Amino acid sequence: MSTSTGGTPAGGTDASSAELAAAAADFTWLLNRFATETAGVVDAIAVSSDGLLIAVSELRQQADSERLAAIVSGITSLAAGASGNYGLGALNKVIIDLDGGHVLVSAIGSGAVLGVVTDKEAKLGNIAYEMTVFANRAGAALSPQLVLELKNSVGAASAR
């Protein structure tokens, strides 16, 4: 008969908590790697379907990432409205071309999107390709449990 210690239910959820924490760290590492190794990227974040940050790159301050999360959430909502009104299907990518750079938003799995800010010289084809590679690597692992763990870890980091 197994017993519970330290508030963990009998049956060993310590292992699954450790696995979730490791998966969250891997996801964040992949995002940071994408942001730091992709030429032209100024900032990159992952946002849940409810508009909350789930991962941030180390390129900018946390406050910048929270503002970008609100922007990405709004863009995602506008895309969903256009899709619903015209029957265009699920979000693939949204690209906003501005005088000083670009904002790109892409689906990365069920319930999450990737938001990327680039400089003007960024090669959009390369950025879009790398976003797709990131989505294929990281998006497959995005379960509701992992999204919750990521939200909690970003929230804990911003409280520091």
| Residue 78 belongs to domain spanning | 29-157
The whole-model pTM stands at: 0.86
- Enumerate residues 6+ apart whose C-beta is below 8 A from 20: 145, 146, 149
**Which parts of 49-140 are beta strand (E)?**
53-56, 93-98, 101-107, 112-119
Domain count, the chain: 1
| pLDDT tens sequence across 39-94 | 999 999 999 999 999 999 998 877 789 999 999 999 999 999 999 999 999 999 99
Give pairs for 26-30: CB < 8 Å, separation 24+. Answer: 26/141, 27/54, 27/55, 27/138, 27/141, 27/142, 27/146, 27/150, 28/55, 28/56, 28/150, 28/153, 30/134, 30/137, 30/138
| SS3 assignment, position 29 | helix
| pLDDT tens sequence across 8-32 | 444 445 668 899 999 999 999 999 9
12: in domain: no
CATH code at 142? 3.30.450.30
105: in domain: yes
